[in-house]
């Protein structure tokens, strides 16, 4: 995800003067901060292993299982849409594919550590409520 986002920055396909894009990107940053605050002081892991401390079901995690990855994808794709090119599209796919790969890996590990995750997953959306 980081590589795709850095690539988008390198080709100047992230930021825009469009108020709509700015709004989407601000909303995605707010979602990221809200999720991070809700997640607490648990550390971020380079590998997809679950953290100790129980399953979080509050804040944005009440509605979606992966709000941080969702926010990175929304932020990135807002830039891709406004700076449409083959390079931007490819880098956007890198961000999205990386996020999905990490989500699936994390979910396989989290369900082992927290058996109640299966019930939680059955009642929440992975990224976008009512869509996915």
CB 69 within 8 A of CB 99: yes
Give the rounded distance of the alpha carbon of 92 from its chain centre.
13
Per-residue pLDDT tens digits for 51-106: 777 889 999 999 999 999 999 999 999 999 999 999 999 999 999 999 999 999 99
What's the chain's Rg over C-alpha atoms? 15
Q: How confident is the model at residue 130 (pLDDT cuts 50, 70, 90)?
A: confident
Q: What are phi and psi of 12, to 5 degrees?
A: 55, 45
CA dist., res. 80 & res. 88, Å (int): 5
The mean of the pLDDT values for the chain is 91
Residue 52 has a pLDDT of: 73
Instruction: Look up the pTM and report it.
Output: 0.89
CB 5 within 8 A of CB 77: no
Q: What are phi and psi of 21, to 5 degrees?
A: -65, -45
Determine what percent of the chain is predicted with pLDDT higher than 70: 94
Residue 96 has a pLDDT of: 97
């Amino acid at each position: 995800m980081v590589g795709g986002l850095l690539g988008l920055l390198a080709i100047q396909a992230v930021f825009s003067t469009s108020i709509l894009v700015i709004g989407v990107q601000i909303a995605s940053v707010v979602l990221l901060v809200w999720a991070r605050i809700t997640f607490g002081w648990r550390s971020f892991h380079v590998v997809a292993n679950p953290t100790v401390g129980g399953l979080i079901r509050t804040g944005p995690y009440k509605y979606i299982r992966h709000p941080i990855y969702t926010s990175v994808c929304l932020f990135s794709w807002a830039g891709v849409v406004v700076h449409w090119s083959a390079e931007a599209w490819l880098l956007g796919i890198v961000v999205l594919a990386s996020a999905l790969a990490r989500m699936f890996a994390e979910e396989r590990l989290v369900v082992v550590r927290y058996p109640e995750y299966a019930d939680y997953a059955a009642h929440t959306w992975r990224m976008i409520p009512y869509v996915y």
